[in-house]
């Protein structure tokens, strides 16, 4: 295929004041897709009946970072430590995600996106690591997002490890306070932080569906060659037909 793949990127909502508000996603998502040969399309939260149009428009999807997931979607009451959440965004992304996976589209879930993936398929979340996790490391780094802050252990038989030339330990950035608690059926945890927090998952049945807890888009934009390879592999998959993948 000679044309660059079109990749939809989900967005949150930002409001500076009454005169400046609307869909928002960090610019590193677009920058990393430009660098790896894709055409990014930002997807605002939309009614369910428009998700099919998004599906036909895009060759693949990135479910981006953002705020907390409404705990009602995984059967819990809100913790006193939960941060603002947007149930409308959660509902939209869960619907779009399930349709994209069912259609065989490549899906990359990043940070909040990984949490949405887990919740969409029956998993649960730690609502606040500092309050609920035993001896957590710092997961909400205080340095720029283009810099790494902690190590991650990769399982040697994972697709992610093979992508990174067999490396079983890498350094990543970290900008979250929630994480996977109970892993959804049909997924496998393939990377862990030093404190045991799940940092990446792969689907048991869909080779082009995976998620990471860190922010590879910012590391890619900052020049990290391994994270650029992750993005490049995803973009390449988005340019392949289902027949070629099989």
Q: Name the active-site residue from 139, 199, 217, 238.
A: 217
Number of H helices, E strands in the chain: 9, 13
Q: How does pLDDT run across 142-196, given as a tens digit for each residue?
A: 999 999 999 999 999 999 999 999 999 999 999 999 999 999 999 999 999 999 9
Q: Is residue 1 part of a domain?
A: no
| pLDDT at site 2 | 61
Q: Is residue 59 part of a domain?
A: yes
Q: Name the active-site residue from 58, 109, 111, 161.
A: 111
Query: Domain tally for the chain?
Result: 1
Domain of residue 160: give its range.
6-245
Q: Is residue 120 part of a domain?
A: yes
243 versus 242: the higher-pLDDT residue is: 242
Q: Is residue 65 part of a domain?
A: yes
And the tokens for 196? 């045991």
49 versus 121: the higher-pLDDT residue is: 121
Q: Is residue 85 part of a domain?
A: yes
Q: Name the active-site residue from 93, 176, 215, 238.
A: 215
Q: Does the annotation count 111 as an active-site position?
A: yes
Q: Is residue 190 part of a domain?
A: yes
By percentage, how much of the chain surpasses pLDDT 90?
91
And the tokens for 210? 């995976």
Give the domain CATH number at 45: 3.40.50.880
Q: Is residue 82 part of a domain?
A: yes
The model's confidence at residue 134, banded by pLDDT at 50, 70 and 90, is: very high
Q: Is 243's pLDDT higher than 50?
A: no
Q: Which of 70, 188, 193 is nearest to 129 (CA)?
A: 193
Q: What is the pTM of this model?
A: 0.94
């Amino acid at each position: 295929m000679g044309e660059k793949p079109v990749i939809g990127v989900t967005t949150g909502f930002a409001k500076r004041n009454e005169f400046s508000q609307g869909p928002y996603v960090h610019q590193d998502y677009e920058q990393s897709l430009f660098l790896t040969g894709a055409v990014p399309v930002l997807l605002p939260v939309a009614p369910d009946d428009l998700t099919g149009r998004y599906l036909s428009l895009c060759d693949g999807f990135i479910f981006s970072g953002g705020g907390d997931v409404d705990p009602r979607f995984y059967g819990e009451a809100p913790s006193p430590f939960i941060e603002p959440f947007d149930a409308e965004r959660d509902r939209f992304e869960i619907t779009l995600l399930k349709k994209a996976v069912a259609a065989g589209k490549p899906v990359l879930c990043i940070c909040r996106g990984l949490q949405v993936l887990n919740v969409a398929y029956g998993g649960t979340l730690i609502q606040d690591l500092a309050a609920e996790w035993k001896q957590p490391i710092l997961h909400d780094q205080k340095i720029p997002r283009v810099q790494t802050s902690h190590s991650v252990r990769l399982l040697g038989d994972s697709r992610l490890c093979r992508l990174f030339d067999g490396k079983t330990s890498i350094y990543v950035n970290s900008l979250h306070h929630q994480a996977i608690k109970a892993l959804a059926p049909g997924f496998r945890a393939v990377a862990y932080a030093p404190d045991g927090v799940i940092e990446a998952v792969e689907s048991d049945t869909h080779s082009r569906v995976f998620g990471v807890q860190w922010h590879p888009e910012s590391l890619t934009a900052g020049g990290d060659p391994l994270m650029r390879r992750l993005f490049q592999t995803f973009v390449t998959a988005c340019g392949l037909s289902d027949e070629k993948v099989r």
